[in-house]
Amino acid sequence: MNHRPTYTALPRLYIRSRALPLTVATLTCIALVAAWAAHWLQDQPYFDHTARVPVIVLAPLLASATIGTSLHAHSDELDRTAVRRWWPRRLLHLLVLTVLTAGALASAVPGHPEAFGAPGMVRNVLGATGVATASAALIGARLSWLPMTVYGGAVYLAAPHNPGGAAAVWAWPMQPGPQSAAWAVALTAYVIGATLLAVRGARPESA
């Protein structure tokens, strides 16, 4: 018997089983709205490129919610009987969505990398996706958007006006691009989230 997996028709079924077309469409919409909002905000009188902070914070938040909920497996019990290991597939699923999102959102905020531009956007995509992915592994994909939304919302309201210091750690989504402490937190969150997802998968939920 030929044990070679079927690369032609069946990854299509995997892609549909996780509703990936819908997820990609949603992410595209988020990127388009983010680009429009960023453009509109800095065109307002007395506003400049630093007015893009809400876009830098909120667009990755929405994108991470989309990615987190897309990790739901509707038939986890049957998926567990798969011959092949799941962790490479899960990791690939997450990496593809992260790269697409980070690329699209980074191009939505052109210029000013030293302030609230593409680097800050990529960092926030990584951090928020990491938290959402870890949540999917620990509490289930359906509610995976909740922790990052609560945290992101709180940080948005509470972050001090001046960047750096301790706030670079706890208020990492509100920092300008080059803050290395904020990058460290976001990357750690992403690595933890991706590892938890790869090893455990999204927590099983009743259908």
Partner 1 sequence: MSSTTAMSTVTVRKLTVRHRRTAVLDAVDLDFAPGVHGLLGPNGAGKTSLIRVLATVAAPSGGQVELFGSEVGAKSGHRSRAAVRRRLGYLPQEFGYYPGFTVREFVAYVAWLKEMDAAAVPAAVELAVARVGLADRIDARVKTLSGGMVRRVGIAQAIVNDPDLLLLDEPTAGLDPEQRVEFRALIRELGSTSTVIVSTHLVEDVAAACTDVTLIEAGRIAYRGTTQELTALGGEDTGADGPDGNPIERGYTAALRAHRAAVARR
**Whole-number minimum distance, CB 4 to partner 1, in Å?**
8
Smallest gap from Cβ 76 to partner 1, in A, equals 7
Q: Does 75 interact with partner 1 (rule: CB under 8 A)?
A: yes
Q: Which of 44, 45, 77, 157 binds partner 1 (CB under 8 A)?
A: 77
The DSSP code sequence of the chain is -------SSHHHHHHHHTTHHHHHHHHHHHHHHHHHHHHHHHHSTT--GGGGHHHHHHHHHHHHHHHHHTT--TTHHHHTT-SS-SHHHHHHHHHHHHHHHHHHHHTTS-S-TTSSSHHHHHHHHHHHHHHHHHHHHHH-GGGTHHHHHHHHHHHHHH--SS-STTHHHHTGGGS-TT-HHHHHHHHHHHHHHHHHHHHH-SPP---
Q: Binders of partner 1 among 19-38, rule CB under 8 A?
A: 19
By CB under 8 A, the residues from 136 to 165 that bind partner 1 are none
Q: Which is nearer to partner 1, 41 or 139 (CB)?
A: 139
Among 44, 46, 83, 161, binds partner 1 (CB under 8 A): 83
Nearest to 170 by CA among 139, 127, 137: 127
By CB under 8 A, tell whether 17 contacts partner 1: yes
Instruction: Point out which span in 60-68, 83-91, 92-100, 147-155 binds partner 1 (CB under 8 A).
Output: 83-91
Q: Which of 44, 45, 46, 81 binds partner 1 (CB under 8 A)?
A: 81
Candidates 44, 162, 180, 206; binder of partner 1 (CB under 8 A) is 206
Q: Which residues sit at the interface with partner 1, rule CB under 8 A?
A: 1-6, 8-10, 13-14, 16-17, 19, 74-85, 206-207
